[in-house]
């Protein structure tokens, strides 16, 4: 598998992480109305969960795999 093209799951992680970054930047630089703040926080929470879910999935693969099988 080529390492140049991210897998769909990896792309999802990147998107979620970018959402988190955008929300953080907007909250840092802009005073947003309360209802907008609520919407942004909900969006950021979903993105954070997606990131953590992906990390856990990779970790599960890492823990579950072993170098014992030989096949061609």
Partner 1 sequence: MKPLRTRYPGQCRSCSRPVPVGEHVLYDVETKLLLCAECVSAGGPAVQSAGARSDGNHLALSALLKTLRGALEDAIPSPVWVRAEVMRWRPRRSGFVNLELAETGAEGAILAQVQAEIPPRERERILRTFELETGEKLREGLTILTRVAPKLDPRFGLSLVVCDVDPSFTLGEHAVATRRILERLSAEGLLDRNRLLPAPKDFTRVAVLAPDQAQGLDDFGAEATVLERAGLCSFDHRPVRFSGPSAAEDLARAVDELGRRHELLPLDAIVLLRGGGAATDLLALNDYRIARSICTCPVPVFTALGHERDQTLLDRVANRAFGTPSKASTHISSTIVSRSRDAGKAWDDLHQIASARLVAERDRVDALWSRVDAYAREQRAHHGRAAAEAEARRAASERGIPAGVALPVLAGAVIGCGLMLSGQTVLALASFFAGIIIAVASEVRRRGGLR
Give me the residues that bind partner 1 (CB under 8 A), please.
17, 20-21, 23-24, 27-28, 31-32, 34, 37, 40-41, 44, 48, 51-52, 55, 58-59, 62, 66-67, 70, 72
Tokens 């856990």 belong to: 56
Residue 54: strand, helix, or coil: helix
Q: Which CB atom, from 2 or from 28, has the smaller least distance to partner 1?
A: 28
Q: How far apart, in whole angstroms, are the C-alpha atoms of residue 44 and residue 7?
A: 22
CB of 2 to partner 1, least distance (A): 18
Q: Which CB atom, from 7 or from 59, has the smaller least distance to partner 1?
A: 59
| Residue pair 13/51 in contact by the 8 Å Cβ criterion | yes
Q: Which two tokens stand for residue 10?
A: 């990896």
């Amino acid at each position: 598998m080529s390492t140049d093209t991210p897998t769909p799951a990896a792309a999802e992680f990147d998107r979620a992480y970018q959402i988190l970054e955008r929300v953080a930047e907007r909250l840092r630089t802009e005073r947003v109305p309360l209802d907008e703040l609520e919407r942004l926080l909900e969006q950021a929470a979903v993105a954070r969960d997606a990131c953590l879910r992906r990390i856990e999935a990779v970790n599960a693969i890492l823990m579950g795999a072993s170098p014992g099988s030989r096949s061609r």
